[in-house]
Amino acid sequence: MTHPSHDTLWAWALAREDAAEPVATHLASCPACVTVVADIRVAQQALASLPPVPPLPEALAERVGAALAEKADRRFLSRWGRWWEALWTPRWAWPVAVTALLLALVVRVAQTDATPTPDARPVAVAPVQKAPTPVTPAPTLPAAAAATKGSSRVTARVSMARKARAQGEPVAKAQRLEQGATVATERGGSLWMRLPDGTRAGLTGASQVTLAGLDASALRLEVAHGNLAMVVPHRAERMVTVQAGEVEVKDLGTRFLVSRTEGRVLVAVEEGAVEVKTPTTTRTVAAGRAVSWHDGRLESLAWEVPSPTTAAPAVKPEAAPPASVARLDEQDDNAASDDDDDDEASEVAASEPAPRTVEPAAVPTVMTSEEEWAKLPANPTTTPSPSTLTDGGASVTGPGRSRVGRFDLGGLEARVQRLQRALFAPFTPDERDRASRMVEVTVQADRGDCRRALVFAERWLRQPSTRRAEEPSWRRTVLTQKWRCLMKQGRVDQAQRVQRELDAQP
């Protein structure tokens, strides 16, 4: 049997010739060529899906041009060694002239100083004798007042720090941080800062934040990377803004988290609401929701806020938060006294990892602190049960607190990591297959082949779902294409059923 050439099959697949063609006749009895045609179709579909080439951005072209011009100039100079010629080109003439003039001035001044004037005579000057006066130190303002005198600047105070640095130096508890300070934690580190108005900012491990603006009326923090937790009591006269790359988060009086990793920013809200602003859109995010900024797209996600009755899931030892994560009770909004230091001292001491002899088996997981947190502030006088941390096997127990709420950095970090794993996980073969099939539905629908699109859509919807974060988005896409094709075919009733299914999707 003679098989058609690959070129012939390629052309046939591209042209989608009539079934009566000889190639079609051959395919009816040649499974090998059917396989080849199937492969060709997939390749052609991939090529057809490519977007048109956009025009060369002017800014990009200019940047490259400037860099090339500089390199070309240097190459010219080094190649010919005629640097002296280049000196006298207009580009270099001015700098050379100015330098020469300055040198001449310096020489002139030096000569003037060295040469005494004819009229100059040494004159002896006797010091005037005065009675010694007592030296009194000039009065100084207290440090805090000095910093804020004539301005509404405030400083942040470190309330807890572990494996943390500010401006490259280790951070000490009660250290004051001025505007412009950059604080960073190492892996396994953590840090809490407090501001006079009651705002608290916490960093988990491997995080870096800059205090870009510390003013009584406006606070601005910039997240370089890692996780920043914010607890912000609402003040009408003050705005808190967190910047993470292109994403700007404006607080509306709440608790929220901003996490920045390579290529993605996550904003999750535990209580209240924030306004998230990106280069393309602005969105208000309420409690229990999160948004992820990635690839120029703002995607809405659910954010797990454990309920008081939810049993905390077991945490695998390898996923347990590092030993240095600390718990911190949230202080009353009005409390900013030094008594807090004592509370925090005992809190931090209590959170030190216990010796390995402590039994790990019977301890709750890190989520327990969230349960306690979730109970408050409805009942601020309730004393929560002792909470625990796991530390890869060892456990520590801290005293309960009768304060308003908690914000457990360890639990927060674990939840962010879970979400990131779900978002960043590489595709398994099945997931890739599922994603490709979803693309195929769209390709067929865009081509106008509704019959084929509907067949593919039905197959896709019957297949088991994956656990990827993109799965709901894929399902919406397939259902949308199914709806489109049903409408095109005039099957309105079925299209309406699909519409209802779409409306029910998250």
Partner 1 sequence: MTALLLGRMPNDIAVKPSEVTAASPVSDPLRALALAARDGQSVAFTQLYERTREQAWRVLYRVVGATTDLEDLLQEVYLQLMRALKGYRGDSKVTTFLHRVCVNVGLMHLRSKRRRPEDVMEEPPELGASEAADPERVMQVKQAAALVQRALSTLSEDKAAVFVYHDLLGLKPEEISELVDCPVNTVRSRLSRARLDFTQAVAALTPRSRRGLP
Binders of partner 1 among residues 211 to 240 (CB under 8 A) are none
Length of the chain: 506
Q: Could you tell me which residues come within 8 angstroms of residue 203 by beta carbon, excluding any fewer than 6 positions away?
A: 164, 183, 184, 185, 189, 190, 191, 209, 226, 227, 228, 229, 409
8-state DSSP, 68: H
91 touching partner 1, by CB under 8 A = yes
135 in contact with partner 1 (CB under 8 A): no
Say whether 359 sits in a helix, a strand or coil: coil
And the tokens for 65?
Answer: 């041009």
Tokens representing 426 are 């590489």
Scanning residues 439 to 458, which ones bind partner 1 (CB under 8 A)? Answer: 439-440, 442
CA angle 303, 304, 308 (to 5 degrees): 145
Q: β-strands 264-271, 255-261: how paired? A: antiparallel
Out of 15, 32, 67, 107, the only residue in the binding site for partner 1 (CB under 8 A) is 67
Torsion of CA 304, 310, 312, 313, to 10 degrees: -70
Say if CB 414 and CB 366 are below 8 A apart: yes
Q: Which residues, numbered 326-345, are part of the site for partner 1 (CB under 8 A)?
A: none
Comparing CB distances to partner 1, the nearer of 279 and 317 is: 279
Pick from 3, 16, 63, 451 the residue near partner 1 by CB under 8 A. Answer: 63
Tokens standing for 336? 């900013």
Of 5 and 309, nearer to partner 1 (C-beta) is 5
Distance CA 202, CA 383 (A): 24
Options 27, 33, 36, 394; binder of partner 1; rule CB under 8 A? 36
Q: Closer CB to partner 1, residue 61 or residue 141?
A: 61
Residue 462 is a binding residue for partner 1 (CB under 8 A): no
For residue 503, state whether it binds partner 1 (rule: CB under 8 A).
no
Q: Is 432 in the site for partner 1 (CB under 8 A)?
A: yes
Give me the residues paired with residue 127 across strands: none
Q: Does 506 bind partner 1 (CB under 8 A)?
A: no
DSSP state of 489: T
Pick from 20, 50, 126, 131: which binds partner 1 (CB under 8 A)? 50
| Shortest Å distance, C-beta 364 to partner 1 | 36
* Contact string (CB under 8 A) for partner 1, positions 286-315, x = contact: --------xxxx-x----------------
Print burial letters for 288-321: b (CB count within 10 Å at least 16), e (below 16).
Answer: ebbbbbeeeebbebebbbbeeeeeeeebeeeebb
Q: Which is nearer to partner 1, 21 or 246 (CB)?
A: 246
Which residues 387-426 are close enough to bind partner 1 by CB under 8 A?
424, 426
Window 271-290: residues binding partner 1 (CB under 8 A): 279-281
Task: Work out the end-to-end distance of the chain between its first and last CA atoms, rounded to an integer number of angstroms.
Answer: 54
For residues 198, 199, 203, 207, the Cα torsion angle rounded to the nearest 10 degrees is: -140
- Rule CB under 8 A: say whether 46 interacts with partner 1: yes
Q: Residue 37 or 166: which CB sits closer to partner 1?
A: 37
Shortest distance, position 74 Cβ to partner 1, whole Å = 9
Member of 16, 21, 35, 313 binding partner 1 (CB under 8 A): 35
383 forms part of the interface with partner 1 (CB under 8 A)? no
Counting contacts by CB under 8 A, is residue 75 touching partner 1?
yes
Q: Does 260 help bind partner 1 (rule: CB under 8 A)?
A: no
Q: The dihedral of CA 143, 144, 146, 147: what is its sign?
A: positive
| 76 part of the interface to partner 1, by CB under 8 A | yes
Q: Closer CB to partner 1, residue 22 or residue 279?
A: 279
Nearer to partner 1, 86 or 336 (CB): 86
Nearer to partner 1, 35 or 465 (CB): 35
